[in-house]
Amino acid sequence: MKTAKHGIKTRLGARLRRTLSLLLAGMCLMTAVSAMPRAFSATSMSDLQKKLEQIQSSMQQHKQELADAKKRESAAAALEEELREQVSVIQSQIAVLKGEIASVQNAIGQKEQQITAKEAEIDQKELDIENQWADFKTFMGAMQELREGGSVAMLSAVTDLYQLLTFNEMMQDISVKETDMLDALEAAKEDLENDQKQLESEKASLETQKASLDAKNYQMQSKQSELNSSIAQAQLTQDEAAAAQKEAQEAIESDEMDYEAVQQQIQAIIAAAAAQQQQLSFTGFICPLKSYSRISSEYGYRTNPVTGVYKLHGGIDFAAPAGRPIYAAAGGYVSVAGWSTGGYGNYVVIYHGTMNDGKAYSTLYGHMSRIAAKQGTYVKQGDIIGYVGSTGNSTGNHLHLEVWQGKSNAGRVNPRSYIPI
């Protein structure tokens, strides 16, 4: 709902600015046609100046909003890319963890099988011990019977000392063998139980390892979910920044729409000046700056660095420090000295009259930080008419210079053909 209301306010603001620009254009045109700039009262000039300042402030705000929106969108896109890279790494880590978990789970399964086999062996050994113990008890019962009478009969049957000793050794061997057999069975059972304990310990260790891997996997899954949420938020931020950028772009383009109207206004102003200043003539131009850093943009079609609109750049841009004096390229009549709603910011238009080629010329100086020339006055070639700035639709301090050729239907031409650069 807030976005819709903001969009409505933006459209209303754009309409208001267009209406105001047309009003100001009409006032400028009336001024040029009458060639009497002093006809305005002090009060109307003060009101006009306030309105111009409001428009300038609005344009600067839109430019800043556009720049901020572009930064937010760029930052959100970079964040999304970084988050996606992190997700990719985490997904690779999760895949490795799943492989390790599967390996440990398989090892646990093998240990469980080994434990089951050992338990079966232990059960068998216990059964063997029980059977052996039963046999031993039977034997001991028989021996007891021998001791109680049977042994006397056996001794009575002995005929010599050798048989007696042999009988005694036999009885001892039977007792020792039975004891050894029981000890062996008990030792085997103990070994199996130790093996079982070892297997169960290894299984417990594997289960601990698996639990640790499961915990890491859960953390990775949680981190991935968190990153996916962050990616969604970054995408939302991009969408919001793109929407803000679009709104700011539309606001700037609403000012840019006035640009075409300004071109027609300038044509009308030049035509009016030419009709009233028919006696004006000159021999040639000088460079309006005594020094500058570079030519930052040539005459010709380009994408506007502020609005992104592809159209004719009708002049040449001289990059120079703010506040550097701008000089009249030739003597003439100051047709306009004020603020442009079409993107020029503070600008001056001078009608120079007819040159020795028989054609009439005017020059336009845009984006001034401050205007020195007065509308409706005459300037000589080399007079200071203003100072370099970055007002209007501008990305940095520079002088935008245009050369207009013609009277009633003037058009822009390449300044390089006329201005010594």
What lies within 8 Å, CB to CB, of 99 at 6+ separation is none
CB 314, CB 343: distance < 8 Å: no
Element (H, E) at 294: strand 294-297
Decide if 242 is inside a domain.
no
Decide if 81 is inside a domain.
no
Of 20-34, 110-124, 394-408, least confident by mean pLDDT is 20-34
Question: What is the rounded distance in angstroms from the CA atom of residue 18 to the CA atom of residue 55?
Answer: 10
Mark whether 101 and 205 lie in a shared domain. yes
pLDDT given at position 255: 56
Please state, as a whole number, how many other Cβ atoms lie within 10 Å of the Cβ of residue 379. Answer: 22
Q: What is the mean pLDDT of residues 228-235?
A: 75
Rg (CA), the chain: 52
The residue among 225, 224, 239, 308 whose CA lies nearest residue 77 is 239
Mark whether 213 and 340 lie in a shared domain. no
Of 96-100, 256-260, 297-301, least confident by mean pLDDT is 256-260
Question: What is the rounded distance in angstroms from the CA atom of residue 182 to the CA atom of residue 139?
Answer: 13
Residue 357 has pLDDT above 80, yes or no: yes
Mark whether 262 and 407 lie in a shared domain. yes
Mark whether 219 and 264 lie in a shared domain. no
Mark whether 272 and 387 lie in a shared domain. yes
Mark whether 274 and 411 lie in a shared domain. yes
Q: Which two tokens stand for residue 212?
A: 């640790």
Q: Which two tokens stand for residue 203?
A: 């299984």
Mark whether 270 and 396 lie in a shared domain. yes
The residue among 125, 98, 316, 126 whose CA lies nearest residue 218 is 98
Structural domain total, the chain: 2
pLDDT given at position 170: 65
Decide if 362 is inside a domain.
yes
Q: What is the mean pLDDT of residues 349-365?
A: 95
Q: How far separated are the first and last CA of the chain, in Å rounded?
A: 54
Instruction: Pick 283 or 172 by higher pLDDT.
Output: 283
pLDDT in tens, 216-227: 777 777 777 777
Q: Which residues pair with 386 in a beta bridge?
A: 326, 371
Residue 6 has pLDDT above 90, yes or no: no
Percentage of residues of the chain with pLDDT beyond 90: 27
Mark whether 263 and 225 lie in a shared domain. no
**At residue 383, what are phi and psi to the nearest 5 degrees?**
-70, 145
pLDDT in tens, 163-213: 556 666 666 666 677 677 777 777 877 887 887 788 788 778 878 877 887
Four-residue CA torsion sign, 403, 408, 313, 301: negative
**At residue 320, what are phi and psi to the nearest 5 degrees?**
-155, 160
DSSP string, 34-66: HT-GGGS-HHHHHHHHHHHHHHHHHHHHHHHHH
Q: Which two tokens stand for residue 264?
A: 């027609």
Residue where a domain stops, chosen among 232, 247, 281: 232
Residue where a domain stops, chosen among 232, 267, 282: 232
Residue at token pair 């289960």: 207
Going by pLDDT thresholds of 50, 70 and 90, the confidence category of residue 103 is confident
Pick the most confident of 205-209, 257-261, 273-277: 273-277
Q: Is 326 helix (H, G, I), strand (E, B) or coil?
A: strand
Pure H helices in 306-409: none
Decide if 238 is inside a domain.
no
Decide if 155 is inside a domain.
yes
Q: Which residues pair with 371 in a beta bridge?
A: 386
Four-residue CA torsion sign, 344, 348, 353, 355: negative
Mark whether 193 and 308 lie in a shared domain. no
Element (H, E) at 289: none
pLDDT in tens, 70-80: 787 788 778 77
Question: What is the rounded distance in angstroms from the CA atom of residue 180 to the CA atom of residue 110?
Answer: 35
CB 255, CB 343: distance < 8 Å: yes
* CATH code of the domain containing 29: 2.70.70.10
CB 218, CB 98: distance < 8 Å: no
Range of the domain at 215: 87-232
Mark whether 276 and 342 lie in a shared domain. yes
**At residue 410, what are phi and psi to the nearest 5 degrees?**
-65, 150
* CATH code of the domain containing 205: 1.10.287
Would you state the torsion angle of the CA atoms of residues 362, 363, 367, 369, taken in this order, to the nearest 10 degrees? -100
Pick the most confident of 157-166, 251-260, 382-391: 382-391
CB 269, CB 32: distance < 8 Å: yes
- Indicate the DSSP class of residue 394: -
pLDDT in tens, 304-330: 666 566 778 889 999 999 999 999 999
Question: What is the rounded distance in angstroms from the CA atom of residue 400 to the CA atom of residue 389?
Answer: 10
Mean pLDDT of the chain: 76
pLDDT in tens, 26-67: 444 444 434 333 333 333 444 544 555 566 566 667 777 777
Mark whether 182 and 218 lie in a shared domain. yes
Instruction: Pick 60 or 259 by higher pLDDT.
Output: 60
- Indicate the DSSP class of residue 407: S
DSSP string, 75-131: HHHHHHHHHHHHHHHHHHHHHHHHHHHHHHHHHHHHHHHHHHHHHHHHHHHHHHHHH
